[in-house]
Structure 1
Amino acid sequence: MLRLGVNIDHVATIRNARGTPWPDPMRAARIAEKAGADGITAHLREDRRHISDADIDALMAGLDLPLNFEMAATPEMQQIALRHRPHAVCIVPEKREERTTEGGLDVAGNEAMLAEFIAPLRDAGCRVSLFIGHEPDQIRASARIGAAVVELHTGAYCDLDTEGRHAERDAELEALRKGAELADSLGLEVHAGHGLTYDTVAPIAAIPQIKELNIGHFLIAESVFTGLDGAIREMHRRMAAARA
């Protein structure tokens, strides 16, 4: 079965726009669970632009689903992760000025630092995932430093589809397929995510080595029109059809 992790960051974005207690990310997590989500993803950014420390506290205390805690490779985030010991930590690149995560980690260029950074997380029982591009050197470096999972960045593929640049999109999709094959051959579990929609999910879901998709912004946006429960169930349906 291909798993779906629902990212609830942008429920918090809406809440923070007005400084009110609502909408509550924890309520969104519970709806996602009832709709068939296999996990919840939340990214605690350095600038706390959406998810807050209190959100992570609430999710760890009240969530039945596994929490995938996205974070930058900073001492502050490492300490928060070690205090909570979530099911999984996904290390992502982070720039304060970016609108959203723009690419994958440079694992190959920071191999020693990242190996040292993830070791205590792994020892604490967290499943360590690295958010990377499909480049073979990044995948091989991820395996060398002891990550359990790589999450392949699908943002470029989704952007090319939106822009109608179909030849480039197809080339990017093929590179993602080859990256998934390589990662799987090295013993890494393969996840994927970023920018996926109803229109772009099927070709990614059809890649057999991919075990989990993490999707957030589109589901929260679609929920304005169909409700979060309906948006998640429809995404699950499309994922299952593509995998079948």
Structure 2
Amino acid sequence: MTKLSVNINKIAVVRNSRGGNLPDVVRAATDIERFGADGITVHPRPDARHIRYDDVRNLARVLTTEFNIEGNPIPDFVALVLEVRPAQVTLVPDAPDAITSNAGWNTVAHREFLTGIAARFRERGIRVSIFVDPVPEMVAGAKACGADRVELYTEAYAREYAADPAAAIAPYLAAAEEARRQGLGLNAGHDLSLENLRYFVGRIPGTDEVSIGHALICDALYYGLENTVQLYKRELK
């Protein structure tokens, strides 16, 4: 079954809006694990507008499921990941002022840079996933960079799903097939939700992991956090 990694950035946004430690992101993460999630994802950014570097360190001390740290591999981020040594690092080319991730890597143009970064992480036993658009050439390029997995950027799929699910998923089927040819693991993330998740993993059953944050935390406002985690898990069966 495809694993569910819950991105807890939005919980940190609420905390940071008032200062203090409510809600407690560490408690939320351990509760999410207890409710059945297979992992926790965080995406610390340089401006610390949600998850902070100290949050990452505190989470690493207590999490018992897979810890996935994603972000742009600037020097401070690289140092943090090498210090914490999560199960997985996901390399994302987001600009410092980006509201959220909005593109995958050009793994051909940035091959030399990504190869060096991936090697440093893999030497420490950290699985490397590279965030890419659903383009077979970029998937193959990730393999050439030394990645273990790719994470397909699913914003376009989510945007187009309601109008035409088959057309929306077509580029992802091609990218997933290329990942299989290259021997890469396959993750997916961005705007996946209760509305579109089942169709995605049903058409691409080899998906190893989905990373879901915004939609899941929004749903939790209506359904409760424990119930929401279980609702998403059901969609993955």
Partner of 2:208: 211
Between the aligned residues of both structures, percent identity stands at 34
After superposition, the C-alpha distances for 1:118-143 in whole angstroms (9 at most, x for unaligned) are 21111011000101111111101101
- Aligned to 1:214, what secondary structure does the other structure show? strand
Partner of 1:173: 169
Q: Distance in 2 between matches of 1:112 and 1:171?
A: 34
* Corresponding pairs, count: 236
Shift of 1:159: 1.6
Structure 1 consecutive aligned stretches of length 4 or more whose deviation exceeds 6 Å: none
5+ residue gaps, structure 1, are none
Give the residue type in structure 2 aligned to 1:97: D
Give the residue type in structure 2 aligned to 1:226: Y
Does the CA contact (< 8 Å) of 2:157 and 2:169 recur in 1? yes
Q: CA RMSD in A?
A: 1.2
Give the residue type in structure 1 aligned to 2:41: T
Q: Distance in 1 between matches of 2:28 and 2:106?
A: 32
- 1:132 and 2:128 aligned: no
- 1:7 and 2:37 aligned: no
5+ residue gaps, structure 2, are none
Shift of 1:82: 0.8
Does the CA contact (< 8 Å) of 2:135 and 2:174 recur in 1? no
Shift of 1:48: 1.2
- Aligned to 1:152, what secondary structure does the other structure show? strand
Does the CA contact (< 8 Å) of 2:4 and 2:37 recur in 1? yes
Partner of 1:85: 85
Partner of 1:41: 41
Shift of 1:20: 2.1
Shift of 1:93: 1.3
Partner of 1:224: 221
Given the two structures, how large is their TM-score scaled by the length of structure 1? 0.93
Q: Distance in 2 between matches of 1:208 and 1:66?
A: 20
Give the residue type in structure 2 aligned to 1:228: L
Q: Distance in 2 between matches of 1:97 and 1:201?
A: 28
